[in-house]
A and B are shown apart, each in its own frame.
Chain A
Amino acid sequence: MEIGNYDALVIFTVLAVGVATLIVLLATYLGPTNPTKEKQIPYESGSDPIGSPRDSRFSVKYYMVALSFILFDLEAVFVIPWAVSWRQSEMLGHGLYSFGVMAIFVSILTLGLVYEWSQGGLEWD
């Protein structure tokens, strides 16, 4: 049987998933199980928890981070293929044009970062 590149990935994935599953299952079934009421309470530094964390609120800053992440990760997604293929476009004589297009693209996103910064979207106080 011919073994290609991606078959190796499949074998590695199966092995990694198998090892991880085995360890987690061992953890569940190998140790003793004698649950008590006190032991099962979520640990909050010794005091009884009030309310559920699923209902509690958290800072909207995390949402801002997620928004900014999508923006700038997309930038990275476009910039990396550009960087890798830049030699080819230079060989075809489009080096300056290619650089100009990238410069405009990155400048627009940098302006976005500057705007977000000036509006306080990056503050964590």
Chain B
Amino acid sequence: MPNWLAIILFLLVVLGAATGVISGAVWSAGFLPAMPGWLIILLKIGIIVFGFVMLVASLMTLVGDRKQSAKIQNRIGPNRATFFGQSLGGLPHFIADGIKMLFKEDIVPNGAHRTFHMVAPALIFIPALLGFSVIPFMDEYCSTGAPMVTPNYPFELCPNGEWLNYFQVIDLNSGMLFAFAIASIEVYGATIAGWAANNKYSLLGGMRSAAQMISYEVSLGLSLAGLLLIWGTLDLNEMVRLQGKLFAGWIPLWGIVIQPVAFFLFFLVGMAETKRPPFDQPEGESEIVAGYFTEYSSMKFAVIQLAEYVATVFLATLTAVFFLGGWQVPFLFADGFHFGGIGAQPDIALPYAVVIAMRIVAMLFKVLVVVWLQFMMRWTYPSFRYDQVMTMGWKIVLPLSLANFFVTAFIVLII
């Protein structure tokens, strides 16, 4: 079997399995309210973390980081580890790596601060995972059947007004602030990891990562201010709902349509925040070995790597939520497709369960597209020099995001 076919098959199988698991949870919503609250929360966390985050992160490590880079560089990529004689697009390598890492020796260098050396990987991993608690993966679920569709905003009304929230761990009305607050804690992990290892390369990498992350964090918030001005809410699910509005009946008012400059700024800043190449100077392979995780081995190293992938997925998810319409499918409302404005009858009628499944798959698909785009950029462009990264952050991205915000405010004031 050719490799690309195996990859596509693997992708389809995994996507299908995830969709099945999530839709199954939806179908069982009838007896979910009878279950104790903590069990529902555990289910939510399990589905979101293992069905979504780990799925995309492992797809990235496997397909994005290895197979796709191999294709770009005209190599074959990992194919030696096999499972019953099948290379399965390199999937066994992913599992073999995990097992190998677990049984490697954990080396702590002389003079390292043992506690901080141990705490730092966890401190990078925990916030990366916690950020997903406010991400909406589907709209709230109407327990009594399909919601009614109305021509004006909120578009969907539950007949008895009871919405059940199964696809967001916490429905915070300040969700965006929470997500950014959690995301910025990662700076501490990287800096502590760099300091604790008693290695000059690590210290340099830690300093670099701290400086780079805080530099771009300023623009991360400011580039979104224009969108917040237009939407007037910090609730992530509310934001996605607002993106279901149609302009002239045909153009979905996604974030990328109303704030195109902010999308490019946010995408750029997201790549810099997650220290992905071409912004990988905190790791700086050719100058400071591996930056702040030079002295990490065994599973601690794997945790740092995994946390970086999870952080990348998180920023991609935020991009999808803010700019690509989150779980919205264009023209799709609770009873089917309405082309050219919401009429009394849908142009293509669909059952509510199909709509739910389509929305979940749309969210997954959008995140995968953003992640794929980041990987293409990673393997296409050479890395920046460190002074170029910092100069770009302060002299180009920050003034641009300020200008974007100011112009948006001015236009909104005039209109």
Contacts and interface: CB of A to CB of B under 8 A. Distances in A.
A65 B200 contact: no
Nearest to B390: A124
Given A15-B45, A39-B107, A56 B200 contact: yes
A108 interface: no
Contacts of A45: 289
A24 B118 contact: yes
A26 B122 CA distance: 12
Given A24-B303, A28-B118, A113-B398, A72 B218 contact: yes
Contacts of A83: 225-226, 228-229, 405, 409
A32 interface: yes
B394 A122 contact: yes
A106 B207 contact: no
A101 to B, nearest CB: 11
Question: Chain B: interface residue count, which band?
Answer: 35 or more
Contacts of A35: 107
A17 B126 contact: yes
Given A65-B214, A69-B217, A41 B109 contact: yes
A119 interface: no
Given A31-B298, A53-B198, A76 B170 contact: no
Contacts of A77: 221
A11 B42 contact: yes
A46 to B, nearest CB: 11
B198 A52 contact: yes
A11 B45 contact: yes
A62 B406 CA distance: 29
A54 B200 CA distance: 8
Interface in B106-120: 106-112, 118
Interface in A13-32: 13, 15-17, 19-21, 23-24, 26-28, 30-32
A21 B300 CA distance: 10
Contacts, number: 216
A68 B394 CA distance: 9
Contacts of A49: 199-200
A53 B194 CA distance: 10
A92 interface: no
A12 B133 contact: yes
B170 A9 contact: yes
Contact of A8 (B41, B211, B387): B41
A29 B102 CA distance: 10
Contact of A23 (B104, B199, B303, B387): B303
A24 B296 CA distance: 11
B399 interface: yes
B203 A80 contact: no
Nearest to A109: B402
B402 A106 contact: yes
Given A53-B199, A65-B215, A27 B394 contact: no
B65 interface: no
B44 A42 contact: no
Contacts of B207: 58, 62
Contacts of A124: 386-387, 390-391
Contacts of B38: 1, 3, 7, 11
A7 B42 CA distance: 11
Contact of A80 (B45, B112, B228): B228
Given A53-B198, A99-B413, A124-B386, A20 B122 contact: yes
A73 B218 contact: yes
A88 B222 CA distance: 20
A122 B210 contact: no
A75 to B, nearest CB: 7
27 contacts: A1-B38, A2-B37, A3-B40, A5-B171, A7-B38, A8-B133, A12-B45, A12-B170, A21-B122, A23-B121, A24-B122, A24-B303, A26-B299, A31-B299, A32-B105, A42-B109, A42-B110, A43-B109, A52-B111, A53-B199, A58-B207, A73-B221, A75-B218, A80-B221, A84-B229, A99-B413, A124-B391
